[in-house]
Amino acid sequence: MILEASVSLKKFQSSMVNERKSHNTIKQYIFIVTKFLEFTNKPADAIGMDDIERFKSHMVVDKGYSKSSQYLAIKALKHFFRSMSLEPPPNLTVPRRPMKMPNYLSEKETRGLMEAASRDPVNRIIVLILAHTGMRVSELCSLKTEDVDLDSSIIRIRSGKGDKDRIVLIPEEVCEELRPYYLARLGDRGCPYFMKSRRGSRFDTSTVERRIRTLATQAGIARRVTPHVLRHTFATTILRNGGDIRFIQQLLGHASVATTQIYTHVDDESLKALYSKFRPRY
């Protein structure tokens, strides 16, 4: 069974590579399917509806998976069955995903984070790029120096989520602050990635996440701050400043405007202004 599972996982991984799934997606899906095969202890073609029900219960009761985590796991398993040329069991259905309010920083908190980042040039660059472009942390880590064009104030995102290319914009003052680092990266032929680690390789997403958490603590921000919080902060700020939802969708690289619509519910300043105008006056 162990050998058979190993062969199935290799085939699954190969199919995802051929489909040009992102490194992070492949890593997540392989982890989920490995746990699933260990749990069922059966070859893929012998797995039935009862096994699926037991695993779904295991995710909720034993592992305490959130609905979002369950959703991801079911997506991975469906993809796995199809890569094996098998029809997914009928009860392999995803739970309804919760529409949670995105966590974002105030302008004061964002400025505090940037000030904390000023003590280290690399930290400063990480925060500047994430806060001003809204790119995903995986996109930052995969960014190559050749795709940064400071003269045109743009960054080209290659094969972002969903294998889509797009362009993000950088303010002129940020371009000037990035320029010394950018010129140094242009002269480095050993590593093509814009964010280079001390080991001479590309940054890992966990490294960036750890740096952001540390900076948030130094800035006195009590709640948990991640690179994705900066992405939410970027989108919320653009909307608050009058940006169109379609424009934000394009900048963030969302496949559907429905994903971007969540930001229309978090503009607290607009809500306060409207409430002040229309509130009951008993």
Q: Which of 21, 136, 196, 232 is catalytic?
A: 136
Encoded tokens for 262: 């969540």
| Phi, psi torsion values for 154, nearest 5 degrees | -135, 155
What does the alpha-carbon distance between residue 222 and residue 229 come to, in Å, rounded to a whole number? Answer: 14
Tell me the β-bridge partners of 86.
none
Q: How far apart, in Å, are the Cα atoms of 204 and each of 140, 152, 181? A: 10, 27, 19
DSSP state of 87: P
Half-sphere exposure of 200 toward its Cβ, with a 13 Å CA cutoff?
3
Spatial contact of 105 and 146, defined as CB atoms under 8 Å apart: no
Tell me the β-bridge partners of 168.
155
Q: Is 255 helix (H, G, I), strand (E, B) or coil?
A: coil
What does the alpha-carbon distance between residue 223 and residue 236 come to, in Å, rounded to a whole number? Answer: 18
With a CB cutoff of 8 Å and minimum separation 6, the contacts of 152 are none
Q: Which of 228, 275, 281, 282 is catalytic?
A: 228
Q: Is 231 a catalytic residue?
A: yes
What does the alpha-carbon distance between residue 41 and residue 49 come to, in Å, rounded to a whole number? Answer: 14
Q: Is 260 helix (H, G, I), strand (E, B) or coil?
A: helix
Q: Which of 79, 161, 185, 232 is catalytic?
A: 161
Q: Is 254 a catalytic residue?
A: yes
Residue whose tokens read 């039935």: 48
Q: Is 228 a catalytic residue?
A: yes
Beta strands in 60-182 (DSSP E): 148-149, 154-157, 166-169
Q: Which residues are catalytic?
A: 136, 161, 228, 231, 254, 263
